[in-house]
Amino acid sequence: MTATLNTGPHQILPFTAYDHLGFLQFCSGSSLAYELTKPGKITRKTRRRSLASRVLFGSFSFAAWEKMQLHISPSLRHVTVLPGKGVREFIKVKVGSRRLSYRMLFYSLLFLTFLLRFVFVLSAVDTIDGESKCSTIGCLGKRLGPRILGRRPQSTVPEVIYQILEEPMSKDELKGRSDIPQTLEEFMADMKESKSDAKTFAIKLRDMVTLMEQRTRTAKIQEYLYRHVASSSIPKQLHCLALRLANEHSTNAAARLQLPSAELVPALVDNSYFHYVLASDNVLATSVVATSLVKNSLHPAKIVLHIITDRKTYYPMQAWFSLHPLSPAIIEVKALQHFDWFSKGKVPVLEAMEKDQRVRAQFRGGSSAIVANNTEKPYVIAAKLQALSPKYNSLMNHIRIHLPEMFPSLNKVVFLDDDLVVQTDLSPLWDIDMNGKVNGAVATCRGDDKFVMSKTLKSYLNFSHPLISRNFDPNECAWAYGMNIFDLEAWRKTNISQTYHYWLEQNLKSDLSLWQLGTLPPGLIAFHGHVHVIDPFWHMLGLGYQENTSFADAESAGVIHFNGRAKPWLDIAFPKLRPLWSKYINFSDKFIKSCHIRAS
């Protein structure tokens, strides 16, 4: 049944009567109200009522009417009800002299109409969902009240199920038992066959889930252990390559060339060149970085690449770049012992590394002790295993903190890790205004990839330790090592290197409780306040520990970084991302072929 509300000469508003029952409601604060008791008659009520009883319901039959109009005069002194079929009878009501706002009346009617529909829908849904119908207003209120107020209705799960599931269980309770269902299908078949009560149901469910949890945890830890072993070991192909190159160095004069040649030595300290520094003991990885850097450069003749390696890798590294020159780029290969700064007096980073290795050996107990721990969560065990990786104890990883001493004549360098690939010309990095900052780096707390780009200081530092919580903000954005612009002039005016060694000492004194992993945490502390954030295009992270990055996204980045365990030269590398690295290897080279290094 449809009716219209006319609030003036030009305003007619529709409203609907359900089941031939009309409702007229006035909710003003006045003590004066009217009740429509039957067609054609409105009774005036002057008795003062409480606020709760000021809503008066009047009912009259609309059986003979399909449409009606309710006319209210602008002064609200007259209310006229007209039938919709042309019948001239009407109901005329004279309203009291008090002037009411017809806008308030309109909004009141609109609100009450919405409220009635809302209660109707809720009651219908509750009746459909519930097991029994509500036949009284009190019952409906009890059932709808919690929903309207945002509270959940009382649970129908038997209390005994909660009691059984909350009971603690020891690991040995499930040993040797053959009555525990192994799959959900077996569990459901068992329940249907035995027609068990709620307590038996809860016990069997708890036993099955607990057993599955134990097996899942064991499988996870084994996976972490195998990955640790795979990532920490030197693949036999790389070991073969180093041995063959060392042999070539000793037997072939062409493999012992001075790098660079004498006429190019002045370029090593010339600040008009683009100087890159790479520290690595991995010949194959270094060759990929160098090749990708030079091939994608628009100014290869302006590139000077300073390669730093250790004593055992120096001869293989020199042999490789003697036999595989990247002209017109200039390549320098030096071992740490060739630096005057390194050979004079005590080197703080070496002392810290020696202490660090001793503390880790005693504190960790090796990978066997870590895996044998039955109380720690798998991801904690994974972090401890990763902390044992030789990379994180490698001098090549710590040496970047001494760049100002190692290259005293240079003003600016770009430092590159050996597990990345350069896919664009990097010369624009020299045009970036660092605003007096020392370290140009990509921030890792924001970006499209939430798994990789969501790192803050609390991701690396232990803020439960007062020494950390007093000095740093846990929600401050972190940044990444791997591809960094270092302003060495600005660096020399700071105490960054001293701060780095101070915090290394503090971590050792606290039994590695300030942080547990790698060289980034002390770097985050040492360069605190000295970082200039650069565009993420210059450094895409995470290709070594998750494969969510699409090939297209990785291919469009300026520099991609395989940070993580799944290095591209290992068998555990992600197959879809590895071609981005392997395309810079010449697999027809005699050394590569003889050591069986393949694209996949």
| Model confidence pLDDT, tens digit, residues 164-203 | 888 877 767 777 788 888 888 888 888 888 877 888 888 8
Number of other residues whose CB lies within 10 A of the CB of residue 449: 16
Banded model confidence at residue 68, pLDDT cuts 50, 70, 90: low
pLDDT for 18: 37
Residue 412 above 90 pLDDT? yes
pLDDT for 385: 72
pLDDT for 64: 38
Sign of CA dihedral 260, 265, 271, 277: positive
Residue 465 above 50 pLDDT? yes
Dihedral, CA of residue 423, residue 429, residue 435 and residue 440, to nearest 10: 40
Q: Contacts from 248-251 at CB under 8 Å and sequence distance 24+?
A: 248/319, 248/323, 248/591, 249/315, 249/316, 249/318, 249/319, 250/315
pLDDT for 151: 52
SS3 296: coil
Q: Who contacts 142 (Cβ-Cβ below 8 Å, separation ≥6)?
A: none
Which is more confidently placed, 484 or 47? 484
Residue 29 above 60 pLDDT? no
Q: State which amino acid sits at residue 593.
A: K
Q: What are phi and psi of 206, to 5 degrees?
A: -60, -45
Residue 320 above 50 pLDDT? yes
Q: What is the mean pLDDT of residues 267-289?
A: 97
Element (H, E) at 199: helix 198-232
Cβ proximity of 504 and 523 under 8 Å:
no
CATH (one of 3.40.1010.20, 3.90.25.10, 3.20.20.70, 3.90.550.10) for 245-595 = 3.90.550.10
What are the residue boundaries of the structural domains of the chain, listed by start? 158-229, 245-595
Residue 413 above 90 pLDDT? yes
pLDDT for 117: 63
Measure CA of the first residue to CA of the last residue in the chain; give whole Å: 76
Q: Who contacts 182 (Cβ-Cβ below 8 Å, separation ≥6)?
A: 208
Q: State which amino acid sits at residue 60.
A: F
Q: What are phi and psi of 44, to 5 degrees?
A: -85, 135
pLDDT, the chain, mean: 77
Q: What is the mean pLDDT of residues 283-306?
A: 97
Q: What is the mean pLDDT of residues 417-444?
A: 96
Residues 106-142 pLDDT 10s: 777 777 776 776 666 656 555 544 444 555 555 555 5
pLDDT for 38: 40
566: closest CA among 554, 579, 577, 551? Answer: 577
How distant, in Å, are the alpha carbons of 242, 519, 586 from that of 312?
9, 22, 24
Which is more confidently placed, 180 or 349? 180
Which is more confidently placed, 41 or 181? 181
pLDDT for 495: 94
Q: pTM value? A: 0.66
pLDDT for 210: 85
Cβ proximity of 256 and 389 under 8 Å:
no
Cβ proximity of 34 and 44 under 8 Å:
yes
297: closest CA among 307, 306, 305? Answer: 305
C-alpha 19/C-alpha 459 separation (Å) is: 64
Residue 283 above 60 pLDDT? yes
